[in-house]
Amino acid sequence: MSKQTNILLIYTGGTIGMIKDYKSGVLKAFNFKKLLKNIPELTQLDCHIDTISFDKPIDSSNMNTSHWVLIATIIEEHYESHDGFVVLHGSDTMSYSASALSFMLENLTKPVIFTGSQLPIGDLRTDAKENLITSIQIAALKHKSKAVVQEVGLYFEYKLYRANRTTKINAEHFEAFDSLNFPPLIESGVHLNVNNEYLMRSKRTKKFRVHKKMDTNVAILKLFPGINETIVNAFLEETSLKALVIETYGSGNAPTSSWLVKALKSALKRGVHIVSVTQCSGGSVIMGQYATSQQLKKLKLINGKDITTEAAITKLMYLLGSSVSSQSFKTIFETSLRGEMQ
Ligand code: ASP
């Protein structure tokens, strides 16, 4: 007889568990137990479900690194006793949190699936039930008694994506996420269609490790025509800044103005790590393809290739927190650690 599959549901908050305050009309987080009452279907699933809720469920706009550490710690404490984890999270910052967790959890051999919804679970037209039920099924999915998914995924509207490849692309559609540079890992239709060739496999001999130090002395600078020298200088001269994601145009292009080159150069000289990512939702930085990225290549900016901004900023927090040496920082960043880049 095969052992029962144990799934841990971690409720952090988000629309999925919210209810409308009829006086003010705003959506607020509510009690997790009430949330579960709205899904009697859960009892029909062929697995045992335990639940842990944040003491105070939050809108994901209030997420910060201490919440990520809390999620990582809950998973660490239940890693042996449970076969898979489903994290219920608001969709607004889900790609950031899920990317962060993908770096914090090293050598995962069990699924960690983030999901949420665009409409509360109590709403008649809710997308929450399908998202939650299928996420649990995916977290419980096994082949020859091994977990099918052995990484951090994000499930929304019939697709499981590699979490650190996702971005929230729509504030209204049920299809709120996309992963433009990497195909879905699983597609849900009449059957769960598993795209085995895209799934990550970590070596079982390597021990599961949880990294809890995330350094927040980081920032994102998005370029735009008309960007102002005084403001950029003030930003780059901030002494606590340790690493920066610069969202460049197209395949990694930027204005060639000498003031910008000078500002980047002096930040680099101070030891600030600077990563170039494209502000396009899909595609990759190709440094040196155009004359307008030659200057960045010469400065030896870190090439973010096809990484998302969400994965880039959380990877910086993780690498800074892991005290990676300055000499190897660029090489390590440019290496795919959890399938986050090509
Ligand atoms: N504001 C909500 C949140 O991110 C939106 C959602 O859950 O979809 O917590």
Helix axes 309-321, 94-104, angle to 10 degrees: 40
207-225: average pLDDT: 98
Report yes or no: 69 and 77 within 8 Å, Cβ to Cβ: no
First-to-last alpha carbon distance for the chain, in angstroms, is 41
Average pLDDT of the residues in 138-153: 96
Neighbours of 233 (CB within 10 A): 15
Of 31-35, 133-137, 146-150, 288-292, the range with the lowest mean pLDDT is 31-35
Output the six-digit token pair for 279. 């502000």
Ligand 1 site-directed mutation target among 30, 59, 95, 126, most atoms within 8 Å of CB: 59
pLDDT tens digits, residue range 100-117?
999 999 999 999 999 999
Residue 45 has pLDDT above 50, yes or no: yes
Please report the pLDDT score of residue 39 as a whole number.
81
**Mean pLDDT value across residues 307-336:** 97
CB-based contacts of 329, cutoff 8 Å, min separation 6: 273, 302, 319
What value does the mean pLDDT take over residues 203-223?
A: 94
Residue 1: pLDDT band (50, 70, 90) is very low
Kindly list the structural domains of the chain, giving each domain's residue range(s) and its CATH number in brackets, ordered by start.
5-210 (3.40.50.1170), 218-333 (3.40.50.40)
15 is catalytic: yes
Alpha-carbon distance of 228 to 333, in angstroms, equals: 28
Does the pLDDT at position 168 exceed 60?
yes
Tokens matching residue 21: 């305050």
Q: What pLDDT, on a 0 to 100 scale, did the predictor assign at position 100?
A: 99
Reading the block at residue 66, the tokens are 């201490």
Task: Summarize the confidence of residues 282-291 as an average pLDDT.
Answer: 94
The pLDDT of residue 2 is 58
Q: What is the pLDDT of residue 256?
A: 97
State whether the beta carbon of 314 lies less than 6 angstroms from ligand 1: no
Percent of residues, the chain, with pLDDT higher than 70: 99
**Higher per-residue pLDDT: 248 or 121:** 248
- Ligand 1 atom nearest the C-alpha of 60 is 9
Q: What is the mean pLDDT of the chain?
A: 94
Which one, of 157, 120, 148, lies nearest residue 166 by Cα? 157
Read off the pLDDT band of 90 (50, 70, 90).
very high
Please compute the mean of the pLDDT values over residues 3-31 and round it to a whole number.
85
Ligand 1 near 15 CB (within 6 A): yes
Q: Ligand 1 centroid vs 181 CA: distance in angstroms?
A: 24
